[in-house]
Every structure is written in C-alpha cells, then in structure tokens.
C-alpha cells in the first residue's frame, strides 16, 4: 500500500467513525483509538503536504482570520415558517391543508424547533464547499471556515448515491452543558458572558477567526434540504432525512411521523413534557406535510410555506421592571441578593423573583432598582436576569451595594478575599443559619451527639424548642418525647447522648463552632498551638498568622467570628451548661519530635485504631495525610494494605510497620 492509499484509507476510517459517533451515537472505537488514527493521518500529511485535501478530517480549522464575511445568495430561498401559539391554530392549519388537497387525513413529519442559528451547507460531489447563514432568507453570510470546525458537520459525505449538488439545511446550536462551560470560561477570563445558548451559538458561528469558533462547543442538526441537482431524493420528507443520515448528516433523534392534527398536538405535548430533560434549548415544534408532491400542491404564501407551521412554546424570556433588590440569608450564612420584579408571565409561569447571585453579578449586569430588565426562565431553573434595557433607564439610580450587616441577626456581613459571596459572621446566633449550625455542632467530627439527626434538628427548631446550639442542653424529656416519632425511651436516649457529649476535646469544640474556613485539621492546629479556648478567642490576626498553615483569610475569619458578641454569648451559655474539655499543654518545637514529618496510614492496625494512631502522631507534631506523594515521610502499613503501599513503593517513600510507628511514638 503506497502513502496516498494509506492516507485515503485513514480518512475513510476517520469519517466512518465520525459518522458512528456524531450521527448514529453508536461509536465503535474508543476515544484513544480515534485519536491514534487522527494523529497518524496528521503525521503523514505533514510528511506529504502535497497530498493534503480540503476535505481531510485534519483541515477543519482555517489559518487566516477573515476581515469580513462575504455575502451568499441562496439558490433556493431559506423561508421562514408561520407560527401557531394555540391548539386551535394547529387544527385550522390542518383543516386548510386537507381542504386544499381534498383529503381526509394528512401525514406530517414532526420535529423539535431548535433554538439556534439556521445554516445551509452546500456539498458538491460529496465535498463541503460552502456554508452560509440564513440572513434575510435570500442572502446570507459565508461562514464556511467556521462551519468546518464543527465536528457534527461532515467535510465529506459517506456512502454512495448522493446528488452531485446537495444543499443540506439545519440548525447550529449550543447545548445547555456547553453553554454553561463556555460562560464559566468567559467568567474566569473576565470576558463578557453570553445571555443564552442561542446568542452563544450565533456569536460563535459569526467569529471572523475560525480558531475561536473551534474552541466553542457547537453542534449541528439537519432539518431539510435546499438545492438538489444531479441526482434524486425520496418522495417524502421523512425518507429524505433517512437518506441524509446514511450519507453522514446528523438528524434530531426526536423526529417522528404522525397523522392529522391530533398526532401533531400529541407530539407537541410529549416534547413539551420532556423539554427540560433535553440537552439543548427548543422553542417549539415544527409540523411539515410529509409528501413532497402535496407540499408542491399546497405552495407558498408570501415568504412562508403553506405546508409547514411552527407551534411555539410560551416564551422563556420576557421584559419587566426590577422593583427592588432584597437580601436572603442562606443556611450557610451566605447573603444572596434577590430581584423583586413586577410580576410577568415567563414560560407559562408567573415570575416575581429572580436570583442575582452576588455583588459581582450585580456589577456585571449593572442592574439597579427601577431598571427595565430581561428575565429568562429555562425549565425548572431559578429565573435569572439576563440583561438590563439601558435605553429605558430613567435618571441615574444609585448602584446597589451589599449590606455590611446581616439583615437577619445584625452581625457583621463581609466578603472575604477570593470568595464571590458575602457571609454573615454570626453563625451560632443567626436565625437563618440555626438549623445548619446545630447539625454541624452535633455531627460526628464535632460533638458527636448520637441520635440527633437532621430531621430531629428540624423538628426541634420548628417546634421553637431551641434557638441556638446551647439550648440543646436544656431540653426537657416531656418536650422531646412529644415530637413526631419520639417515644419517651428514644427521647431519654437523646438526653443521655447530650449529657455524654458535654465532655469533649478542645479541637472538637473549635470545629463544632462552624467558623467559616475552619475545618477539622485547622481546628486541631489551633488547639495544639493555643492550648485553651480563652487564648484562641483573645488572639489577633498577627498572632494567628504565626500559626502553621494559617493564612490571612482564615485568620480574618477567626477574629471576626470571636469579635461578635452573639457568638461569645452562645459559647458562654455552652460553658454554663457544663460543656467542657481539658486544656492542652502547649509544647515547644523541641518537644515535637515528629514536626515536619508527614505520615500516611493504610491497612488495619492491631494495637490501636487508625483514628487513635492519627491523634498520637499529631500530638508529636506530625501531619497525617490521606494520600501518598513525594512529600510523604512514612507510609505506615497494617494488615491488608491498599494501593497506598504500592504508590509508596513507586515513589520511593519509606514504608514502616505498626511496630516501627509505635517506636517512633514512644
């Protein structure tokens, strides 16, 4: 086999696998095998540039950005469709078609109406030679370079029997997941966010630099044909679609054939029911008379066919007025701005509130009370403000700023550097955070109150029996036993567990307070460094920054938490309820022989539990990690060790037994 034959064979194989993956959604090879074929082809084409052709799978991205798009006149106009918004309009459409055709029943090809950008793809001898946008229906823009970057658009048709000239028409879209991914990238790059998937798809397809388009997650679905010459197609629209699919053109899997107006309406309802589960946005469904001869007989009116109609879903974007911006405090203490809107019907639902996420989002939108805004509601997603209609802004309303105090409890509200949200610092006292604070306080790694599950916490708060974590220890048997599914015995068990939890450790207590950015490891570090709660509460940021692994953000969170009188009051109540712990003797660095050593434990230990071993190692200054890395000092191996031991061997980390660890501890 010579080089040209090998290249042709590789191209044929890659085009076939593209067809299996993008058209049939049934790949035959793994991604790595596909990549191997593509790399092999690229390598051969580099060695033999004279054999490179425009339809090669390697030639999707153009090298030179355009200065402007050329105009393209469509050989067959890209017509718009008439719209129906009520069921009766579909019934009337079917009746008029039946009367014109003098028939009792009509077969319709039906499909979702994708919310993207219409495009026409011209194939000559099976090779993609031009792609053009719809434009005004008569003249569009030449976007060939950009269309070539879309993986779901074949550069060369497969199979046999396609016409010499075949104009394929369809929609370029961006999936919901692709849209979120693109906006996340835009957000990280401090670039403009796209309002919705349709705008994102249109903007991506109309980039003058095809290299930018190539980075955008675009897809293509075919819905029809334009010019066809030098060959014949089937006599029904649905059969034409099946022919196109065999030649490598991607169809929508929701396409169907139905009978009469009832079949059309039933299909509309079925698609509307699954609309939110579809991976892309749709704004309705399209009904087309399936027979081409019947289409020809029905003809056109103005610039729309009499043989097709779009039955639109209720709009998902509407314009309304932002009356005010309120602040909601979530269960974690996050302050979220909420837009209070003049009620408007969006997607069949009356919307009066929309999330504004955080201060950054408000500034990005430059949204202010009194503004006219565009609101979008997609499925079950919380409605959001897409943009501000600046032309309707009256006067210079002041910019909105997040409050400096929590609107629920009055504690300081602040935004820590590196965090998009603003948080209330009154975690032990704030009513909005009450349930979450109690759940955290009683969790296994905090005070470990056995039997106090999430549902019971919610019952206790809803029954107004506890207002903060300290109230847990003043619960009465008769109050608890009166709760749902709480007999006297289970109520007494809870009170016993509460009594038992009063004796704890300093690190557990610090962790139980739920200080923002203070996790289990940081709580232990603070306990070992300060030795008592009183010294920790008195520490300033400068002192905290001297503690190992404590940075400015964590230090600020700690001092702010303890500066709140509400939080100090709750801690005092807990101590009055006899929640206690032994202070820790703070050791000098000389008394921490395992300082700067990192241990990883794996397998079952026989002399002590892994939890006790972890505590003993940390008491001597060691760090205990969950995974092995080059920075690991020792991996302690017990019975039946896992993959961590293999990883240690691979990295050359020293492996020791439990006995070796005990010697180090002694």
Q: Which of 175, 157, 174 lies closest to 166, judged by CA?
A: 157
Assess contact for 383 and 377: CB atoms under 8 A. yes
Residue 604, token pair as written in the block: 């079952």
Question: Which phi and psi (to 5°) does residue 3 adopt?
Answer: -60, -45
Q: Are strands 349-355 and 334-346 parallel, antiparallel or unpaired?
A: antiparallel
Integer Cα distance of 168 and 162 in angstroms: 12
Integer Cα distance of 530 and 188 in angstroms: 39
What's the start-to-end Cα distance of the chain, in Å?
73
User: One of 6, 113, 274, 421 is an active-site residue; which one?
Assistant: 113
Q: How far are the Cα atoms of 5, 595, 616, 621, 632 from residue 665, in angstroms, in the given order?
A: 70, 12, 7, 11, 17
Please name the residue that has the structure tokens 């949200």: 421
Q: How far are the Cα atoms of 355, 369, 402, 431 from residue 326, in angstroms, in the given order?
A: 10, 10, 10, 17
Integer Cα distance of 197 and 174 in angstroms: 6
Residue 647: active-site member? no
| Eight-state DSSP code of residue 405 | B
Burial of 106 (0-12, 13-18, 19+ CB in 10 A): buried
Q: Are strands 308-312 and 82-84 parallel, antiparallel or unpaired?
A: parallel
Integer Cα distance of 457 and 471 in angstroms: 12
Residue 309, token pair as written in the block: 């109609």
CA torsion, points 315, 146, 118, 346, in degrees to nearest 10?
Answer: 0
| Contact partners, residue 529, CB within 8 Å, separation at least 6 | 547, 548, 586
Integer Cα distance of 220 and 250 in angstroms: 7
Q: Which of 445, 418, 422, 464 lies closest to 514, judged by CA?
A: 445
| Contact partners, residue 471, CB within 8 Å, separation at least 6 | 465
Integer Cα distance of 235 and 450 in angstroms: 73
DSSP per-residue letters across 425-488: S-TTT-GGGHHHHHHHHTSTTTT--TT--HHHHHHHHHTTS-SSGGGGGG--HHHHHTSTT--H
Integer Cα distance of 162 and 324 in angstroms: 60
Q: Where do the DSSP E strands lie in 20-94?
A: 71-73, 82-84
Long-range CB contacts (within 8 A, 24+) of 660-663: 660/636, 661/599, 661/613, 661/617, 661/634, 661/636, 662/607
Burial of 146 (0-12, 13-18, 19+ CB in 10 A): buried
CA torsion, points 503, 508, 512, 513, in degrees to nearest 10?
Answer: 100
Integer Cα distance of 564 and 608 in angstroms: 41
CA angle 424, 337, 394 (to 5 degrees): 140
Assess contact for 279 and 176: CB atoms under 8 A. yes
Q: 3-class secondary structure for 368-431?
A: CCCCEEEEECCCCCCCEEEEECHHHCCCCCCCCCCCCECCCCCCEEECCCCCCCEEECCCCCCH
SS3 at position 75: coil
Q: Are strands 71-73 and 107-114 parallel, antiparallel or unpaired?
A: unpaired
Catalytic residues: 113
């Amino acid at each position: 086999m010579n080089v040209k034959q090998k290249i042709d064979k590789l191209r044929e194989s890659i085009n076939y696998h593209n067809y299996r993956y993008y058209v049939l959604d049934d790949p035959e090879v793994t991604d790595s095998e596909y990549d191997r074929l593509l790399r092999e082809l690229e390598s051969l084409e580099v060695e033999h540039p004279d054999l490179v052709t425009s339809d090669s799978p390697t030639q999707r991205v153009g090298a030179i950005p355009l200065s402007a798009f050329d105009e393209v006149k469509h050989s067959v106009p890209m017509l718009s469709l008439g719209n129906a918004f009520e069921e009766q309009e579909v019934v009337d459409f079917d009746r008029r078609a039946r009367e014109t055709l003098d028939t009792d029943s009509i077969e319709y090809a039906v499909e979702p109406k994708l919310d993207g950008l219409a495009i026409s793809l011209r194939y000559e001898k099976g090779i993609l030679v031009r792609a053009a946008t719809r434009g005004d229906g008569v003249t569009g823009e030449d976007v060939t370079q950009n269309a070539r970057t879309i993986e779901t658009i074949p550069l060369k048709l497969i199979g046999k029997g396609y016409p010499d000239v075949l104009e394929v028409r369809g929609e370029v879209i961006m999936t919901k997941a692709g849209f979120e991914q693109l906006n996340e990238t835009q957000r990280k790059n401090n670039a403009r966010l796209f309002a919705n998937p349709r705008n994102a798809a249109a903007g991506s397809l109309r980039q003058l630099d095809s290299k930018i388009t190539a980075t955008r997650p675009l897809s293509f679905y075919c819905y029809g044909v334009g010019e066809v010459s030098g060959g014949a197609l089937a006599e029904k629209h649905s059969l034409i679609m099946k022919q196109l699919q065999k030649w490598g053109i991607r169809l929508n899997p929701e396409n169907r054939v139905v009978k009469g107006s009832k079949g059309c309406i039933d299909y509309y309802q079925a698609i509307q029911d699954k609309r939110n589960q579809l991976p892309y946005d749709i704004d309705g469904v399209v009904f087309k008379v399936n027979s081409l001869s019947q289409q020809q007989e029905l003809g056109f009116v103005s610039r729309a066919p009499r043989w097709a109609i779009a039955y639109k879903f209720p709009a998902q974007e509407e314009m309304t007025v932002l009356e005010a911006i309120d602040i909601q405090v979530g269960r974690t203490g996050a302050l979220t701005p909420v837009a209070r809107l003049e009620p408007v019907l969006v997607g069949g639902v009356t919307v009066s509130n929309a999330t504004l996420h955080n201060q950054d989002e408000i500034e990005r939108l430059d949204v202010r009370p009194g503004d006219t805004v565009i609101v979008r509601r997609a499925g079950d997603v919380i409605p959001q403000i897409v943009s501000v209609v600046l032309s309707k802004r009256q006067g210079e309303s002041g910019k909105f700023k997040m409050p400096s105090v929590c609107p629920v409890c009055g504690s300081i509200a602040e935004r820590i550097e590196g965090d998009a949200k603003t948080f209330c610092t009154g975690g032990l006292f704030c009513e909005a955070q009450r349930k979450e604070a109690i759940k955290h306080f009683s969790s296994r790694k905090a005070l470990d109150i056995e039997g106090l599950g999430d549902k019971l916490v919610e019952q206790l708060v809803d029954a107004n029996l506890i207002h903060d974590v300290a109230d847990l220890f003043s619960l009465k048997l008769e109050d608890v036993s009166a709760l749902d599914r709480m007999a006297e015995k289970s109520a007494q068990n809870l009170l016993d567990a509460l009594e038992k939890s009063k004796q704890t450790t300093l690190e557990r207590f610090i962790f139980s307070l739920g200080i923002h950015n203070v996790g289990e490891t940081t709580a232990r570090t603070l306990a070992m460094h300060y030795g008592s709660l009183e010294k920790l509460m008195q520490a300033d940021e400068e002192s905290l920054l001297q503690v190992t692994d404590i940075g400015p953000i964590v230090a600020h969170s700690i001092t702010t938490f303890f500066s709140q009188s509400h939080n100090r009051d709750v801690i005092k109540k807990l101590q009055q309820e006899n929640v206690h712990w032994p202070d820790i003797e703070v050791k000098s660095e000389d008394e921490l022989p395992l300082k700067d050593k990192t241990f990883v434990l794996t397998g079952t230990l026989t002399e002590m539990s892994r939890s006790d071993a972890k505590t003993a190692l940390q008491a001597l200054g060691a760090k205990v990690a969950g995974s092995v890395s080059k920075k690991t000092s020792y991996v302690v191996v017990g019975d039946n060790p896992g993959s961590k031991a293999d990883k240690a061997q691979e990295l050359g980390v020293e492996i020791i037994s439990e006995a070796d660890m005990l010697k180090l501890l002694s």
